[in-house]
Homo-oligomer: A and B are copies of this chain.
């Protein structure tokens, strides 16, 4: 069974508890529960990781990359400056999809630039939690093509 990493960056652990008008009332655990369900339906295995630390995310990517087939990553604020995570994605040579809950292009100017996007296969922005499911479905889809 294909194994997909689902990584969330800083402050995404606050999901559902804070600013629900922006990010909805579902917690990250709620979303992850639904993602497990969905993954099962799609015959995929998912591995979750959330951290507020850039280094921890890189460590996780290094450790898990070998036995995984895809990466869904919402880098949160790291989107805009973590060249280290960018380099990690290139270094582990995995197909990655960048997901953002809100439309970063209708927010502050400094959120319009992703240093992660150029090294991902795809980029899904603005669909809330649905973005993770679209990305997961993509990995199920490409699996079928193998």
Q: Which residues of A contact B (CB under 8 A)?
A: 9-11, 13-14, 18-19, 51-56, 58-59, 62, 76-78, 80-84, 86-88, 90-93, 103, 105-106, 110, 112-115, 117-127, 130-131, 134, 137-138, 141
State A88–B18 Cα separation when bound (angstroms): 10
State A123–B106 Cα separation when bound (angstroms): 11
The answer to whether B55 and A51 have CB atoms under 8 Å apart is: yes
- A80 proximity list for chain B (CB < 8 A): 83
The answer to whether B77 and A103 have CB atoms under 8 Å apart is: no
State A55–B122 Cα separation when bound (angstroms): 27
Partner of A77, one of B83, B110, B117, B121: B83
- A62 proximity list for chain B (CB < 8 A): 11, 13-14, 52
The answer to whether A103 and B120 have CB atoms under 8 Å apart is: yes
The answer to whether B120 and A126 have CB atoms under 8 Å apart is: yes
